[in-house]
Amino acid sequence: MMISAETALTVVGILGNIISLMLFLSPMPTFVQIWKKGSVAQFSPAPYLATLLNCMLWIVYALPWVHPHSVLVLTINGTGFLIELTFVFLFILYSDGKKRLKVIVMLLVEIAFVALITVLVMTLAHTFAARSLVVGSISVFFGTLMYAAPLSVMIPNGLGTLFGLAQLVLYATFYKSTQRQIEAKKVKAEMGLADQGVAVVSSNLKSGLASWGASLCVERAQDKLFVELLESAIRQSSRSVRLVLEVRY
């Protein structure tokens, strides 16, 4: 039994829509975590805004006056639009003031961009083929950006990981030499303190010796004076004795 091309396209389209729906719902655990914590923490809004823009462009592509008979494209991207819009609103609700304002501005820019594309295509392109080609090409381009959006988180984190590993390698390479330099500085510091201690002791010793020498000199001078006085007294006594003897005899 032969299956017609139209039937095969429909079956493949339905399977594609199921897989796409799973893709749109994949951030659900992240937003459950955000809801429980009451904060978006360090999560980035870029993937959800990129997916929302992609869905809006494919909705424009699937409109009857752009590319007729695109029911499957319209339904899955309409569903994805509602899901991603809910995620973006939750992100706005649980983010702080600065990040919230940034997300709102980006959302308004996306809506204005899609509206501008729609108006220009409907005004300047007058056939289904031309409209389909222009909107389809733009949708493919931004669809590629949607899949590349997680790189906005992965690239900085990946580079951070590489730089962190480089720092660890440098630390492991120069750790021992650095420790030796630190030990050498400690030894020099200790030797300097020891030299200062010796200098202080030497200075104190010299000062003490000088004081002791001066004291000794004073004591010797006093002893010499005492001896001289004693000798003078003895001489005076001798003279007195001689005088007495002379008077008597």
pLDDT band at residue 40, thresholds of 50, 70 and 90? confident
Locate the domains of the chain by residue range: 5-149, 162-249
Residue 128 has pLDDT above 80, yes or no: yes
Is the pTM higher than 0.75? The answer reads: no
CB burial string 80-119: b at 16+ within 10 A, e below: bbebbeebbebbbebbeeebbeebeebbeebeeebeebbe
Region 47-67: what's the mean pLDDT? 91
Which carries the bigger pLDDT value, residue 154 or residue 248?
Answer: 154
Alpha-carbon span 242 to 247, nearest angstrom = 9
C-alpha count within 13 angstroms, C-beta hemisphere, residue 45:
28
Residue pLDDT, tens place only, 231-248? 666 666 666 545 544 544
Alpha-carbon span 1 to 27, nearest angstrom = 41
The pLDDT score that the predictor gives to residue 244 is 44
Residue pLDDT, tens place only, 7-35? 887 888 899 889 989 989 988 998 888 88
Residue 82 C-alpha from the chain's centroid: 36
Please, what is the average pLDDT of the chain?
79
Residue 67 C-alpha from the chain's centroid: 49
Dump strand ranges (E) for 78-172.
none
* R_g over Cα of the chain: 51
The pLDDT score that the predictor gives to residue 169 is 78
**Which residues, in sequence order, are CB contacts of 21 under 8 Å at separation 6+?**
76, 79, 80
Alpha-carbon span 39 to 41, nearest angstrom = 5
Residue 110 has pLDDT above 80, yes or no: yes
Q: Is 63 exposed, middle or buried (0-12, 13-18, 19+ CB in 10 A)?
A: middle
Residue pLDDT, tens place only, 163-194? 777 777 777 776 667 777 777 777 777 666 65
Alpha-carbon span 136 to 70, nearest angstrom = 12
The pLDDT score that the predictor gives to residue 205 is 54
